[in-house]
């Protein structure tokens, strides 16, 4: 029974490039959440999606960041024109329904040079 899967686990980008982070939820889970963790800090909510719908994107920066969860395939967090301040660990969590337990993936550690 596979847990939440994220890839890549580590991603290095130069300033101005695009970063694509992928998340496959647990089997049977249709709710996906993205969180960002800066060094020495807790996790900050970014966006909450269900299949083909963005439910809440109140934690997403207004520019350069976007997320999707298509009918088929993983959820994608896209960061365009990355800057050094985007360097962080990005975690995806999934739940079976809203208000259910959220289970986290291993994260993608993004480093922007």
Partner 1 sequence: GENVEQHPSTLSVQEGDSAVIKCTYSDSASNYFPWYKQELGKGPQLIIDIRSNVGEKKDQRIAVTLNKTAKHFSLHITETQPEDSAVYFCAATGRTGANSKLTFGKGITLSVRP
Contacts of 72 (CB under 8 A, 6+ apart): none
Question: Exposed (0-12), middle (13-18) or buried (19+): which is 15, by Cβ within 10 Å?
Answer: exposed
Q: Which of 14, 42, 62, 71 binds partner 1 (CB under 8 A)?
A: 42
Report how many residues bind partner 1 under the rule CB under 8 A. Answer: 28
If binding is defined by CB under 8 A, does position 98 make contact with partner 1?
yes
- Nearest distance in Å: CB 90, partner 1: 10
Instruction: Identify whether the C-beta of residue 73 lies closer than 8 Å to the C-beta of residue 14.
Output: no
Question: Which of 15-23, 38-46, 69-77, 79-87 is the region at the interface with partner 1 (rule: CB under 8 A)?
Answer: 38-46
- Contact status: 69 vs partner 1 (CB under 8 A): no
What backbone phi and psi angles, to 5 degrees, belong to 5?
-115, 135
Strand partners, 108: 90
Q: Closest distance between partner 1 and the C-beta of residue 81, in Å?
A: 26
Binds partner 1 by CB under 8 A, chosen from 19, 102, 110, 112: 102
**Cα 37 to Cα 13: distance, rounded to the nearest angstrom:** 18
- The residues that touch partner 1, with contacts defined as CB under 8 A, are 4, 6, 31, 33, 35, 41-45, 48, 55-56, 58-59, 91, 93, 95, 98-107
């Amino acid at each position: 029974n596979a847990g939440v899967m994220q890839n890549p686990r580590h991603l290095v980008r130069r300033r101005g490039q695009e970063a694509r982070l992928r998340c496959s939820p647990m089997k049977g889970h249709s709710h996906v959440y993205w969180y960002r963790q800066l060094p020495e800090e807790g996790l900050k909510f970014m966006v909450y999606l269900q299949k083909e719908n963005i439910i809440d994107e109140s934690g997403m920066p207004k520019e350069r960041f976007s997320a999707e969860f298509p009918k088929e395939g993983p959820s994608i967090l896209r960061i365009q024109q990355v800057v050094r301040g985007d360097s962080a660990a990005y975690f995806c969590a999934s739940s079976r329904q809203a208000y259910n337990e959220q289970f986290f993936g291993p994260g993608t550690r993004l480093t922007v040079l």
